[in-house]
Amino acid sequence: MNILLSTCIRTNLSIVPNNNYYIVGKIAGQSYYRVPKEGMLILKMTNHAACTPQKICKDLGMESEEVLSFLNEMMDLGLIMELDGARQYDLQKYKSNTIVTKVVNFLFCRVTFIAVIGCLAGLLIFSHDFRHLVVRNNVLIFEQYPGINLFIVTIISVLLTSFHELGHYLAAKKYEVPVKFNLSTRLYILVIEAKMNGIWSVSRESRYVPLLGGMYFDLISGLLCAFIIEVGSSTILDDMFSTAIILIVTQFLFQFAIFFRTDLYFIVVNFLQIDGLQSRVKDVLRGRKTERFAIAYTMLAFIGTLTFMAYFIFIFFNSVHQEVQLFYYNLVQNDIILKLDSIMGLGVIGLTAGVTFLIILKRIMHYMRSTRGISKY
């Protein structure tokens, strides 16, 4: 069905200015799109009150073909709520929970944030043991069993990344932004990733809290692990939480590798109000003339990526080298327990590699699909 000049149209979209264009989408939805000023003016007329394209052309002085083309594009994207009084989709209502709201307000208030930063700063300054943990280049818990080590490290990594995504989720709840969870990968670890497209429906200033929520929860998890190590007395638990601290620092530094479109990448995008930074980096590397901010961004991205890679190699090279030797040694032994341990480790690697391949393949197929007309945000 095509929209005609006499079709009565009604929309119910969020419209947020962003530099020289506008971000529009369903309220409490997951898909948001960039539209020019002319598109924003059309949507303002159809938002919350029924209007015909004929009236829009008359009031805004636009060509009928231009208005009809834009509105039909919006209909194809599922953003038209009513056509001649017929409802095209139901409004999504955000459900809030009083207890969750109180927890969110406590965790993301200024006092709690200052307390967390203060405690971590105190540990770094006054605790020699904590500083030693951050640069310890050994994540082996059971030195004779590499398969069990890999399994435990994988479980710890999954829990830490899930806690990171919980930070995004709770921070988004503060602004009543809906969140969907997808299966993704972080380095070689499978993770549940929070999809927060709804943040584009809130103001630019309000987006920083959901975007930084994951890194903030990394700091909280690091503080909790350090506290458990200080009060605990079990050697195995100390090794496990020490490994957790190393993984937290690695995960935190990974955010500075903004070439991988990490949380800091979207913070930079939001701060500069410019998308497509990755393509501008290619222009810089190819020697084309470009803006100074793109050159500065490229340099910072390289520094952040190299810093993360240097720390990652320093921390994990020794452990990986020992693990590979132990895998080979255990496989050739007659001890059935050692053989099962190696098989467990290889199973974890194989399962992770298989699922990672499927996720990458799905992303490539999604990238190859093109959305015509209005650009998706």
The pLDDT assigned to 145 comes to 75
Side chain identity, residue 150:
L
Angle 353-370-302 from CA coordinates, rounded to 5°: 55
- Give the pLDDT confidence of 238-287 residue by residue, as tens digits: 888 888 888 888 888 888 888 778 888 888 888 877 766 666 666 665 66
The length of the chain in residues reads 377
- Quote the strand ranges of 105-188, DSSP E: 180-186
Predicted confidence band at 370 (pLDDT cuts at 50, 70, 90)? very low
What span, in angstroms and rounded, lies between the C-alpha atoms of 60 and 65? 13
Question: What is the pLDDT, as a whole number, of residue 372?
Answer: 39
Residue 208: helix, strand or coil by DSSP?
helix
Least confident of 93-97, 127-131, 218-222: 93-97
pLDDT band of residue 92 (cuts 50, 70, 90) is: low
Which pTM was predicted? 0.76
Backbone angles phi, psi at 51, to 5 degrees: -155, 150
Distance CA 193, CA 363 (A): 14
Residue burial 149-168, b: 16+ Cβ < 10 Å; e: rest: bbbbbbebbeebbbbbbbbb
- Cα–Cα distance, 144 to 104 (Å, whole number): 43
Report whether 75 contacts 53 (CB < 8 A).
Answer: no
Residue 75, pLDDT score = 86
47 - beta bridge partners?
11
pLDDT tens profile 179-236: 888 777 665 566 678 888 778 778 888 889 999 999 999 999 988 988 888 776 667 7
pLDDT of residue 277: 66
Q: Report pLDDT digits (tens) over 313-355.
A: 777 776 666 667 777 777 777 777 777 777 777 777 677 667 6
Task: Identify the pLDDT of residue 216.
Answer: 94
* Cβ atoms 71, 36 nearer than 8 A: no
| pLDDT band for position 371 (cuts 50, 70, 90) | very low
Q: What is the pLDDT of residue 276?
A: 64
pLDDT digits (tens, 9 = 90+) for 10-69: 888 888 887 778 888 886 666 788 888 888 899 989 987 888 989 999 988 998 888 888
